[in-house]
């Protein structure tokens, strides 16, 4: 099976780190709108102009994240990682374990919350949504469609998929449709999709925010910039 790790970088949103270990039968691809982008270990694929012209940056990002069957036709199984995730070691082992499981989708358990309801509360409290009402309306829409909010919450910064499987394509298309109508938080809609489509999935007990062999999460670039500014300000104030 052809295996790929991929990420999406729009503009200058994140630092992309080289993979800590390159394993020979795995490709590493960055989809980006930056013509000058180069990082050791990653192959750059410039995002098609039709995608850039059709969607605002966050939607272009999610289109590639959610619909790998449209972008990775030459690969059988993929691992998506957010652009602030560094790929560390033993990715081949992760692929092999996933393939041996017989599952079609692999997800990482959310480290802090267990339900969409809890995630909505957190998003509102942390100011992560433009419209509180739209977020609550989205949740009500899922409940009215029979959503039980019992599948558990996943973090979605790492997703493993046999992305050409029919049931996976159907589920990912539904995820995209939900996202287009949503308040912009893909963690809210994926549990609904997982429950509705009864995906053949495995939820890994580890996550990127605790020490593990495979991935390491870093702050987004704007957060790093803010931390540097605060540190500099405090140093000058002393």
Integer Cα distance of 46 and 51 in angstroms: 11
Integer Cα distance of 154 and 151 in angstroms: 9
30 in Cβ contact with 9 (< 8 Å): yes
Identify the pLDDT of residue 48: 86
Identify the pLDDT of residue 138: 92
Integer Cα distance of 201 and 198 in angstroms: 8
**What percent of the chain has a predicted confidence (pLDDT) above 90?**
63
User: pLDDT band for position 223 (50/70/90)?
Assistant: low
Query: Is 190 a domain residue?
Result: yes
Identify the pLDDT of residue 77: 99
Q: Would you call 28 helix, strand, or coil by DSSP?
A: strand
pLDDT digits (tens, 9 = 90+) for 101-123: 999 999 999 988 999 999 998 88
User: pLDDT band for position 184 (50/70/90)?
Assistant: confident
Q: What's the CATH code of the domain at 54?
A: 3.90.550.10
Q: Which domain holds residue 160?
A: 3-113+154-237
Query: Is 11 a domain residue?
Result: yes
pLDDT at 26 exceeding the cut of 90: yes
Mean pLDDT of 74-101: 96
pLDDT at 174 exceeding the cut of 60: yes
Query: Is 18 a domain residue?
Result: yes
User: pLDDT band for position 233 (50/70/90)?
Assistant: very low
Query: Is 167 a domain residue?
Result: yes
Closest CA to 100 of 213, 19, 1, 215: 1
pLDDT at 229 exceeding the cut of 90: no
Identify the pLDDT of residue 221: 66
Whole-prediction pTM value? 0.90
Query: Is 143 a domain residue?
Result: no
Query: Is 13 a domain residue?
Result: yes
When divided into structural domains, the chain yields a total of 1
The average confidence (pLDDT) of the chain is: 88
Query: Is 70 a domain residue?
Result: yes
Q: Give the CA dihedral 17, 183, 63, 98, nearest 10 degrees.
A: 70
Q: Which residues lie closer than 8 Å to 189 by C-beta, 6 or more apart?
A: 138, 142, 175, 178, 179, 182
pLDDT at 158 exceeding the cut of 90: yes
Query: Is 133 a domain residue?
Result: no
């Amino acid at each position: 099976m052809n295996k790929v790790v991929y990420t999406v970088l729009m503009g200058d949103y994140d630092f992309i780190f080289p993979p800590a270990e390159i394993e020979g039968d795995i490709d590493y691809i960055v989809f980006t709108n930056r013509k000058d982008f180069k990082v050791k270990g990653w192959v750059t694929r410039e995002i098609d102009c039709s995608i850039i012209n059709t969607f605002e940056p966050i939607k272009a990002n999610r289109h590639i994240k959610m619909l790998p069957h449209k972008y990775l036709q030459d690969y059988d199984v993929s691992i998506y990682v957010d652009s602030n995730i560094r790929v560390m070691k033993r990715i081949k082992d992760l692929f092999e374990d996933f393939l041996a499981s017989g599952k079609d989708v692999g997800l990482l358990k959310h480290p802090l919350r267990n339900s969409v309801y809890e995630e909505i509360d957190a998003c509102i409290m942390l100011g992560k949504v433009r419209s509180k009402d739209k977020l609550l309306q989205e949740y009500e829409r899922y409940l009215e469609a029979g959503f039980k909010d019992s599948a558990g919450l996943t973090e979605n910064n790492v997703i493993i998929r046999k992305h050409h499987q029919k049931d996976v394509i159907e589920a990912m298309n539904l995820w995209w449709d939900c996202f287009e109508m949503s308040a912009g938080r893909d963690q809210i809609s994926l549990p609904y999709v997982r429950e509705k489509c009864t995906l053949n999935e495995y939820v890994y007990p580890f996550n990127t925010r605790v020490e593990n062999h495979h991935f390491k999460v870093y702050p987004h670039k704007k957060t790093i910039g803010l931390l540097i500014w605060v540190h500099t300000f405090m140093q000058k104030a002393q």
